[in-house]
Amino acid sequence: MILPGRVRERAEELAGDLPAYVYDLAALDAHAADVRRALADVEVYYAVKANPDPALLRTLAPHVDGFEVSSGGEAAHVREVLPGARLAFGGPGKTDAELAVPVHRLHVESPGELRRLIAAGRPADVLLRVNLDVPVDGASLAMGGGATPFGMDPGGIAECLASLRGQGHVRPRGFHAHLASGLHAPELLRLAGAVVEFAREHGTHGEHRGHGAREVNVGGGMAVPYRRPDERFDWDAYGKGLAALRAPGETLRVEPGRALTAYCGWYLTRVLDVKRVHGEVFAVVTGGTHHLRTPAAKGHDQPFAVLPTGNGRGADDEPVTVVGQLCTPKDVFARRVVTTVRPGDVVAFGMAGAYAWTISHHDFLMHPRPGFHYLT
């Protein structure tokens, strides 16, 4: 993949001090501004789970309407970094203490969770998370479209609507859904259409009319194709589609994670060894999937660029498997990718800004942690 000039310069400076993460905050700022422009008609909340790094949150803050958090820890973290930010709190297993966290919107995941919330007696503004039985073909991760622990089927929603009657402190504001991740704009728009239709049916019509259910959060899940690093989710088409879907008086909200921050992150490593074993070439780099678990978690090749800063015997324009320092065959960044690489070269893994450092098992084997650097 192509290494932007600024990242290359920083990689050359850091060559003796790797592994390290480099976050290109200027690139994130420009990308988030583009997304904001494309989605002018809807609210955008950033899904903090993708990357809660404070510098990224501060960079995103001017471009988003709020932040989606999935634990009391994430809520406290965002409060500390951005005290005035609006929070939406989702997630399938909230403790009583988490249900008590004051937030703009609480995403209710089950009738039992709602009963606990009502019994606690505190005011809360809620969206009911619906899991519709709609096809999610082509998704890299499915959180809905069938039996999963996320959200409720229409029966669960009906139970919630019944529980909400006869009390006033837990206020239903609408519906939430996050049915799948890794979908392109047309598929995501199809899902959004199904969710909005359900919300209109159950929130603003018939016996539930007047519940104030005019808000629909259709989730995140915008595709990030790791095999095609230059391709971007079609935010313009998505924004136009959502604008066409929204009826006057309705609030539509999205909560992307990966597609906002994946591209601004780089994990830089240095080649320790190039070896041939039973005919296969391995490049062993400093660090490993305990810092960047994404390729192991998703089973893909992490896209990378090689900076020829090394020398000695290596591989020339041939298939190379790039591995880390861990004593496990799962510590693989990329398999049999044709490249030229020598000991001492810098390997820069791209698309490492989302579900990367924070989803990784940092302490396994007790190697040093990477440095963190920010390009502004």
Ligand X SMILES: Cc1ncc(COP(=O)(O)O)c(C=O)c1O
Contact between 261 and ligand X by CB under 6 A: the answer reads no
Rounded to a whole number of angstroms, the minimum distance from the CB of residue 45 to ligand X is 8
Site for ligand X in 39-58 (CB under 6 A): 47, 50
- Return the number of other C-beta atoms located less than 10 Å from residue 205's C-beta: 10
Interface pick for ligand X out of 211, 253, 258, 373 (rule CB under 6 A) = 258
Nearer to ligand X, 19 or 221 (CB): 221
161-162-164-166 Cα dihedral, nearest 10 degrees: 140
DSSP-derived letter for residue 152 is B
Distance of CA 101 to CAs 28, 29, 56, 98, Å? 29, 29, 23, 5
Q: Which residue has the tokens 């400093």?
A: 286
8 A C-beta contact, residue 349 and residue 307:
no
- Among candidates 281, 191, 216, 235, which has minimal Cα distance to 30? 235
Contact between 111 and ligand X by CB under 6 A: the answer reads no
Using a 10 angstrom Cβ sphere, with 0-12 exposed, 13-18 middle and 19 or more buried, the burial of residue 103 is buried
264 is catalytic: no
Catalytic residue among 327, 329, 363, 368: 327
Rounded to a whole number of angstroms, the minimum distance from the CB of residue 96 to ligand X is 21
Tokens of 31: 């990308």
Interface pick for ligand X out of 178, 202, 211, 290 (rule CB under 6 A) = 178
Which amino acid is located at 33 in the chain?
A
Nearer to ligand X, 233 or 269 (CB): 233
Stretch that binds ligand X, among 26-34, 78-86, 213-221, 336-344 (CB under 6 A): 213-221
Q: What is the Cα 93 distance to its own chain's centre?
A: 19
Stretch that binds ligand X, among 28-36, 218-226, 275-283, 313-321 (CB under 6 A): 218-226
Interface pick for ligand X out of 19, 111, 239, 257 (rule CB under 6 A) = 257
67-68-72-73 Cα dihedral, nearest 10 degrees: -60
Stretch that binds ligand X, among 112-120, 214-222, 270-278, 357-365 (CB under 6 A): 214-222
Site for ligand X in 117-146 (CB under 6 A): 143
Contact between 345 and ligand X by CB under 6 A: the answer reads no
Which amino acid is located at 198 in the chain?
F
Chain contacts with ligand X (rule: CB under 6 A): 47, 50, 68, 90, 143, 178, 181, 219-222, 255-259
> Catalytic positions, please?
327
